Amino acid sequence: MIETIRKLAEAYGPSGREEDVHRIVLEELKNHIDGYKFDRVGNLIVWKDGKSGKKVMLDAHSDEIGLVVTNIDKNGFLRVETVGGVPPHPYVGQRVKFPQCTGIVYVEGETSQDMKKNFSNLSFDVMYVDIGASSYEEAQKVAPIGTFGVYDSRFMQNGDFLTSKAMDDRVGCAVVIEVLKRLNSPNNTVYCSFSTQEEIGLMGARVAGYDIMPEACIAIDVTASSDTPKAFKRHAMVLKKGPAIKVKDRASISDRKIVDKLIELAEESGIPYQMEVLIMGGTNAAAFQATASGIASATVSIPTRYVHTPSETVHLDDIKNCVNLLIEYVQKGV
């Protein structure tokens, strides 16, 4: 499973450009599903037939945050804007990977005072990308306006701590893949969406939900953690304590019946879990709840350190226990 996570996390897939991720998902799943399709906004939807006549859905978004080239100056330096909620700070001195080249991101400033000001009010307005081009024309050849880039970051393992860019939400994709691999003759038909454009506004999930209209849907996504020095005090989530059953974030309140069922199943099977109330953020559950005539939806999260940086860090135990809990749910939950 670690190798699958590595492959998925290192793949290039900013919002709207999820094709590589979908290719990896399909390779992993080709012998484990009864069918798949790509819908009109690029969502990959796979399924495994059950006997009960009921549909249950799992969702993990396939896109990641990124940058997009919006302007190129006459000396070949790029200006970029964000794709999703990208903080500027991790990008200082960081490399950004475009499909045809890699660039270095840095901060402008003509005096030390300028520099100080720009660093303390850091924004992409005062940052540029250097791709080793010397003219507009040269840059436009390899990174034309409208080119999407992602963190240039490698997968790393420290014991059972796994670190990479885009754990948000490739770790969710890996969980869903593992559930499908281990699920033999499911009771309920299980649909899984690897949905597009989550980071810029839950775009793909609205369409996937409308299309499938399952009895219940669980989004698997990352959440914040509070187990680092002077971390956000009002959050309870920590690594190694199990998957987090989300009660609420800023975009959705989880369906209470699903939450209660998840707790019940975890208790019954002795699967460690923790409860989650996230003060910020949102997941595709919000989109599922509000599409068509509404889908009962919840989120199960993998607690993650350093979300939206090149070094999003998760723990293998949480991932495995998340898989176990979801298998219980799709078999017995609806």
Partner 1 sequence: MLYLKELTEIGGVSGDESRVRDFIASKIKDKVDETHVDKLGNLIALKKGKKNGKRFLLTAHMDEIGFMVTNIEDDGTLSFSPIGGVDPRVVPGKRVKIADKVTGVIGYKAIHLQKKEEIFKVPAFENLRIYIGTDSKEASSKLVNIGDSVVFTTEYREENGKATGKAFDDRAGCSVMMDLIDNIDRYDFDVYFAFLVQEEVGLRGSAVIAEQIQPDVAIVLEGTTAGDNPEVPEYKWATHIGDGPAVTFMHRGYVVSSKVVQNIMSIAQKNGIPYQAKRRTAGGTDAARLAGTWRGVPSGVISVPSRYIHSPVSMIDLNDYHNTVRLVEKILDEGEVFFK
Neighbour tally for 266: CB within 10 Å: 21
Instruction: Please state, in angstroms and rounded to a whole number, the distance separating the CA atoms of residues 151 and 67.
Output: 9
Measured in degrees and rounded to the nearest 5, phi and psi for residue 175 equal: -60, -45
Would residue 198 show up in a list of annotated catalytic residues for this protein?
Answer: yes
Q: Least distance to partner 1 from the beta carbon of 250, Å?
A: 16
Q: Whose Cβ is closer to partner 1: residue 211's or residue 317's?
A: 211
Instruction: Please state, in angstroms and rounded to a whole number, the distance separating the CA atoms of residues 137 and 198.
Output: 33
Question: Which residues here bind partner 1, judged by CB under 8 A?
Answer: 15-17, 39-43, 68, 70-73, 79, 81-83, 125, 144-146, 148, 197, 200-201, 203-204, 206-207, 210-211
Interhelix angle 19-29/167-182, nearest 10 degrees: 20
Catalytic residue from among 18, 178, 198, 276: 198
Q: Whose Cβ is closer to partner 1: residue 161's or residue 210's?
A: 210
Give the sheet arrangement for strand 189-195, strand by strand. Answer: 35-38, 44-48, 189-195, 55-61, 216-223, 296-303, 244-248, 274-277
Q: Least distance to partner 1 from the beta carbon of 15, Å?
A: 5
Q: Least distance to partner 1 from the beta carbon of 256, Å?
A: 26
Q: Least distance to partner 1 from the beta carbon of 271, Å?
A: 35
Q: Whose Cβ is closer to partner 1: residue 57's or residue 72's?
A: 72
Q: In this structure, are residues 23 and 159 in contact, taking their beta carbons and an 8 Å threshold?
A: no
Rounded to the nearest 10 degrees, how much is the dihedral formed by the CA atoms of 213, 216, 220, 222?
110
CB under 8 Å to 208, separation ≥6 — which residues? Answer: 39, 43, 45, 59, 193, 195
Maximum pairwise Cα distance, the chain: 70
Q: Whose Cβ is closer to partner 1: residue 195's or residue 299's?
A: 195
In three-state secondary structure terms, 208 is helix
Measured in degrees and rounded to the nearest 5, phi and psi for residue 148 equal: -100, 140
In three-state secondary structure terms, 219 is strand
Q: Whose Cβ is closer to partner 1: residue 162's or residue 217's?
A: 217
Residues of the chain by 3-state class (helix, strand, coil), percent to 5: 30, 30, 40
CB under 8 Å to 218, separation ≥6 — which residues? Answer: 57, 58, 59, 258, 285, 297, 298, 299, 300, 326, 329
Q: Whose Cβ is closer to partner 1: residue 4's or residue 43's?
A: 43
Q: Whose Cβ is closer to partner 1: residue 156's or residue 292's?
A: 292
> What residues are labeled active site?
198
